[in-house]
Amino acid sequence: MIRLLSILIDCFSALIFIVPAVIVLQYVFFKQHSLSKAIMVLIFAFYAMAVFTVVGIPTVNRLMINLRFNLIPLIDIADNPSGYIINTILNIILFMPLGFLLPVIWEEYRPMKKTVFMGLALSIIIEVLQIFTFRLTDIDDLITNTLGTILGYYISKMLSFKMPLIGRVDNKDSYTKSIYADYEPVIILTTVFLIGFFLKTFVSDTIWNIVLSSSLWEHIK
């Protein structure tokens, strides 16, 4: 319950900054004026923040060095098979929306190799960032996250005939393409990370102070 509340507070704290940031990027930086595209990008940005919150990225006021690595795949399965399987399934599910949203929103990511590369690259970055948190840097997470991206991509391909291709419509009719448009997902992910690293923590700390000092905390804990 406390873990779920923490994730919700962190995501809400980031959302305050993510919404205006994405709107400015969409309508000013990328010169895109499609409401449907803006909504989909907002969903992608909020999903990215949820991923960063769940996996535990460092924040500016909580940096540490934790040189714990697991570079041998499947080594932990013998110690706790059920826990390992549950963690594997959750990691796969966590990255499935990435593989789904990238090709749905951006035409440049319709080729499978580009979407999978993005999932792999994002997973590597997350594992490196976890050196600066209390979490373990684990090669199993890298494998399962990439697998989740692949599964999400195939789901998007299976549903593509039932849903509009947002990026394709927008590229033809809705805006004059910015020179930065090809890097849009990377810029969105970087923006979300910077919000989580520099800004989110101060809002979430304030909310936690309110929660901890209220009578509601007695019922939660």
Mean pLDDT of 31-36: 84
115-129, 141-155, 160-174, 177-191: least confident range:
160-174
d(CA 58, CA 135): 10
pLDDT of residue 175: 44
26-35, 81-90, 200-209: least confident range:
26-35
What are the residues whose beta carbons fall under 8 Å from the beta carbon of 123, sequence distance 6 or more? 95, 141, 142, 145, 146, 149
d(CA 172, CA 165): 11
pLDDT of residue 215: 79
pLDDT of residue 166: 53
d(CA 129, CA 193): 11
Residue pair 155/99 in contact by the 8 Å Cβ criterion: yes
What is the average pLDDT score of the chain? 88
112-148 tens-digit pLDDT: 999 999 999 999 999 999 999 988 899 999 999 999 9
47-92 tens-digit pLDDT: 999 999 999 899 999 889 988 899 899 888 878 899 999 999 999 9
Q: Is the pTM of this model over 0.85?
A: yes
3-state secondary structure of 137: strand
Mean pLDDT of 192-220: 89
The residue among 147, 136, 140, 138 whose CA lies nearest residue 93 is 147
What's CA 20's distance to the chain center, in Å? 18
Which pLDDT band holds residue 155 (cuts at 50, 70, 90)? Answer: very high
Is pLDDT of 165 > 80? Answer: no
* Amino acid at residue number 167: G
Q: What is the CA radius of gyration of the chain?
A: 19
Mean pLDDT of 30-40: 87
Mean pLDDT of 196-220: 88
DSSP bridge partners of 105: none
Sign for the pseudo-dihedral over CA of 11, 17, 22, 23: positive
Q: Is 155 exposed, middle or buried (0-12, 13-18, 19+ CB in 10 A)?
A: middle
Indicate the angle between helix axes 184-194 and 35-55, nearest 10 degrees: 50
